Structures are given as structure tokens and as C-alpha cells.
Amino acid sequence: MPVTLEEIARAAGVSRGTVDRALHDRGRIRPEVAAEIKKLALEMGYQPSRAGKALAMSGKKIKIGVILQYMETPFMMQTLKGVQEGKQEVESLGGIVQICEIEKVRPDKVIKLMEDMRRQGFQGIALTPSENPELKKVISKYCKEYGIPIVMMNADLEDTGRLCFVGQDNYQSGRTAAGLMGEITGGKGQVGVITGEVSNPGLKARRNGFTEELQKCYPHIQVAAVCYSHDEEEEAARATEQLLVQYPQLTGIYVTGHGVSGVCRVLKKAGKDGKIRMIANDFLEENKKWLKEGTINFLIGQDARTQGYEPVMILFRLLFDQIKPEKELLHTEIAIKTRYNI
């Protein structure tokens, strides 16, 4: 027998109305509650009865494209799972979702894929952007001239005319890291920042939020250096080794993105784990291991599933139901974990 909304409500400990709002994305409901209900419904085998809409939709030929950069990083692999969930839902209704994966930063390839999608009649595109003047121009042209809505995910380019952004408030995440660093270092000392690709706007926002908040609230903490790992573990390890040599009094390290294990291995080998305070991002299994061991003091997490799933569904709702997103900035939660609550 098919799973009912009442059964899902009982399993989730909420009302039937809450389940209905969560599964159909209507009404006011906290994003984390909606995500848990959708996950539970999927596990229980719930199949939405939208045959009428699926039949009507087949005539609309809705086609959504997704372009993901930085696919060598574990976090983007988590985001991909959310995209695939959205693809499965849209395609169950007769639509088409095409996912294109790109390793590293390749704005030229993003532009080519966008043009391919436009020529093939795709009506909406979700993508992870990078700081590139030509890519910005192309995105603006698609939004303003071609009328193809673009949803940014994971990182944002605000001045492009994009429909909306889904992801963490990266600047605020950096400020959060600065506040934590200020507390665990006693508000003084030298800290290093290890970040990824120069052209990643999300990591740039975190770095800026971190350094500006330290300048404002913790003037006795000096940012000794900002190092770029280009999202490579070994590059992050080498950057850490250089920091330890150049700044023997280093008191803290903030890692804005990928490369955490490389940093932790060097600190452990040098006998500095637990002595040099460390803050990193994303609740990856490897990162959680270092957190439990005490090499990392705090992990700042973001909702990878939502960042992948919601852009697909936002475009679907816009193209099928003409429902625009409620806000331009759809920020996911900034979560903090320690070894005691992981």
C-alpha cells in the first residue's frame, strides 16, 4: 500500500498539515524541518500523486540545466546528491534535468555548457560560479537578454541579474570563525588563513568576513598570512609547513574550505595539534575525525543537500507553476560543531 501523509506525520512527530506543507513547498515551515520530513518521506517510499500535473507538464517540455564546478572537493560531492534528488523528482513529473560536472575552476567550460544548454532549449540553469569577468557578462546576458533564469548555488555573484542564491552566507560564516578564533586564543596572537581557489567567490567572502571581523573586534590578533591551497590537500599541507617556519609563534589557523586533512597532518607531525587553535569548514567524515581527536577546535557546517536540491526545485516551480522564490538570498544555516556535539 502507498505511504500516506498521516503515516509520515506520525513517524515525524508532526501534524499532517506540516507534512503537506513540507512535501509541497508551501506555507511557512523551517527549512531544517522541511528537509527532515522530505528525507523521512523518501526513506518510507512516499510517492507524490501528481499524475495530472506530470501529464500537463509533458507538453511544456521543461528542461533545467545544472553546472557544478569544484567537483574534486568532497563538499561538492555532497551537494551533487541534493542535485540528483531534485533531478529525480523533476524527471518523475516528465521534466528533464541535465547535470554537468567540472573539476577545478573552468569559467570557459561553464560558458560553453551554458551556450549548449541555450541552443538545446533549456529554460533555466543552476550553477556554481567563479569570479571571472567574462562569465559575469554571459550570466547577465542570459538573465536580461535571453530571459533564462540563473540560480547561484554554493557561492554568489550578486551583480549579474541572477534570480537568487541558495547557500550559506559566506561572509557571515567568516565572521563566525573570527569570533570563535577570538575566544579560543584569548583575543591575541598570530593566525594564518588557508583558502582554496582565488576565484571562488564563496571562499573569498569567508576570508573577508574573517579578517574584517578580527580587525574590528580583535585588534590584537594579527592575520600573519593568507595562503592559497587551490583545493589541494598537499598544497594545504605545504602552506602549513611554511606558516610554521615563518611564524613560530603562530596561535591559530582558519581553513576556509578544502585541504583540512593536509593541514591537520602537518600540525600533528609537528606536535602542534591542540596547541595551535584551528577552525575549519564542512561536516565531512574526515573533518569530523580530526575534530574528535582535538586537532580541530571548531567545524562550521553548511547544508549541502539543500544547496543542491533547492536550486533545481526553485527553477522547476518557476517554470511550471510561475512561482518565484520568496527571497533573493536563501541562506542555509551556519552550524557549529565541537568534539562534544559532533
Residues contacting 29, CB < 8 A, separation 6+ = 18, 21, 22
The tens digit of pLDDT for each residue in 160-218 reads 999 999 999 999 999 999 999 999 999 999 999 999 988 999 999 999 999 999 999 99
Closest CA to 238 of 321, 230, 52, 191: 230
Q: What pTM, to 2 d.p., does this model score?
A: 0.82
Give the domains, in start order, of the chain with CATH numbers.
Answer: 1-49 (1.10.260.40), 51-167+303-333 (3.40.50.2300), 170-301 (3.40.50.2300)
The tens digit of pLDDT for each residue in 93-111 reads 889 999 999 999 999 999 9
Grid coordinates representing 296 are 580541530
Average pLDDT, the chain: 92
Interval 119-126 mean pLDDT:
97
Q: What HEC string does the chain produce?
A: CCCCHHHHHHHHCCCHHHHHHHHHCCCCCCHHHHHHHHHHHHHHCCCCCCHHHHHHHHCCCCEEEEEECCCCCHHHHHHHHHHHHHHHHHHCCCCEEEEEECCCCCHHHHHHHHHHHHHCCCCEEEECCCCCHHHHHHHHHHHHCCCCCEEEECCCCHHHCCCEEEEECHHHHHHHHHHHHHHHCCCCEEEEEEECCCCCHHHHHHHHHHHHHHHHHCCCEEEEEEEECCCCHHHHHHHHHHHHHHCCCEEEEEECCCCHHHHHHHHHHCCCECCEEEEEECCCHHHHHHHHHCCCCEEEECCHHHHHHHHHHHHHHHHHHCCCCCCCEEEECCEEECCCCC
Measured between alpha carbons, how far is 259 from 228 in angstroms, rounded to an integer?
A: 10
The tens digit of pLDDT for each residue in 18-64 reads 887 788 776 667 888 888 888 898 888 887 655 445 545 556 689 99
Interval 130-146 mean pLDDT:
96
